[in-house]
């Protein structure tokens, strides 16, 4: 699917979209979830093929996209980099040019964000970021859906992220908050603060959206009176050599019952998984009544479907059938 200028429309980071598009996709994910079997019968992506390139391991991203395409009437092809010519040094741009002649869209889970940008620049079909070191937009669409489901709204919610600030989930949440006008606190040690360029973009966008940000090194201050508390692993893929140092620095940022005592009594806890129980989150929190982590994981499926429908120009029809409300 290409826009009027003949250039493929990609989803590499949350800020690739306007607030209106992001709202529509989240509402679409809710509609697709509610009408799961009806949409499956309609097969809106019949005849479409998604190629999925994995240069990093995956559970939820792979299964959600593959099942999502199948339930929408299309098909998905799994391509591991070590099984492709990419693994033997073929330029990623050449792979992009070739695959665009075979498939209708490509999802990539890779390392440096610059790598997916290079792929997308050479691709004539939509490219979806399934995870890079800097951004994880598909995860945050699922997170937004989960907050909407559990709290009944996004706007007006007070949200906190605690832990590693230079993290793909953190960055995507910052961009989502800036677009949608949300209230987000980020607690991280200075050494692991969010990317300054993303922070600067978000603060500029907040002037228009009304978003509110708190940047702090104090996890208690970040969580105080919050409706939603989010965390992620302290040692992301590719940084395993730093694990011991990270545990030492990030120890005070563990999401545990003592920290959650500062949040609102009905606060919910999100984590993109996999979790390191006893590190960034305790087992009693992850398995406890505040946790919506496994509902959040399920919502990856519905979020991914909505992303695909949007990129293929079929989401508005699904929303029209569902008569979804217009605001979040």
Binding-site sequence positions: 58-61, 85, 109, 136-139, 168, 232, 236-237, 272-273, 300
Q: What is the largest CA-CA distance in the chain?
A: 55
Query: Angle, to 10 degrees, between the axis of helix 168-180 and the axis of helix 137-151?
Result: 60
DSSP 109-166: E-SSHHHHHHHHHH-SS-EEEEE-SS--HHHHHHHHHHHHHHHS-STT-EEEEES-SS
| Integer Cα distance of 188 and 199 in angstroms | 13
Nearest by Cα to 233 from 279, 177, 300:
279
| H and E: helices and strands count for the chain | 14, 9
Nearest by Cα to 194 from 220, 211, 213:
213
Distances (CA, A) of 247 to 191, 223, 232, 241: 13, 20, 13, 12
Binding-site residues for carbamoyl phosphate = 58-61, 85, 109, 136-139, 272-273, 300
DSSP 282-293: -HHHHTSTTB-H
Q: List, by residue number, the catalytic residues.
A: 109, 136, 139, 232, 272, 300
């Amino acid at each position: 699917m290409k826009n009027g200028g003949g250039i493929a429309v990609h989803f590499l980071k949350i800020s690739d979209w306007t607030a209106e598009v992001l709202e529509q996709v989240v509402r679409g994910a809710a509609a697709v979830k509610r009408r799961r079997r009806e949409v499956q019968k309609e097969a809106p992506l019949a005849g479409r093929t998604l190629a999925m390139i994995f240069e990093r391991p995956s559970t939820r991203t792979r299964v959600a996209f593959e099942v999502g395409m199948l339930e929408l009437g299309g098909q998905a092809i799994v391509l591991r980099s070590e099984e492709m010519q990419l693994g033997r040094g073929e330029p990623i741009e050449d792979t992009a040019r070739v695959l665009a002649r075979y498939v209708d869209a490509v999802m990539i889970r890779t390392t440096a964000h610059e790598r997916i940008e290079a792929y997308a620049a050479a691709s004539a079909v939509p490219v979806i970021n399934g995870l890079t070191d800097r951004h994880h937009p598909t995860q945050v669409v699922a997170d937004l859906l989960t907050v909407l489901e559990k709290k009944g709204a996004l706007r007006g919610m007070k949200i906190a992220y605690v832990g590693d600030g230079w993290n793909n989930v953190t960055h995507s949440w910052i961009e989502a908050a800036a677009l949608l006008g949300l209230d987000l606190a980020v607690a991280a040690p200075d050494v692991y603060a969010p990317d300054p360029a993303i922070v600067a973009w978000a603060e500029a966008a907040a002037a228009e959206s009304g978003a509110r940000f708190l940047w702090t090194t104090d996890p208690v201050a970040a969580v105080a009176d919050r409706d939603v508390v989010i965390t992620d692993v302290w040692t992301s893929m590719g940084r395993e050599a730093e694990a011991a140092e990270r545990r030492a620095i990030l120890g005070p940022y563990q999401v545990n019952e003592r920290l959650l005592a500062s949040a609102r009594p009905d606060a919910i806890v999100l984590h993109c998984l996999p979790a390191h129980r006893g590190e960034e989150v305790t087992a009693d929190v992850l398995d406890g009544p505040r946790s919506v982590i496994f509902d959040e994981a399920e919502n990856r499926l519905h979020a991914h479907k909505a992303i695909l429908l949007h990129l293929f120009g079929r989401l508005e029809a699904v929303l029209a059938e569902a008569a979804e409300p217009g605001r979040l």
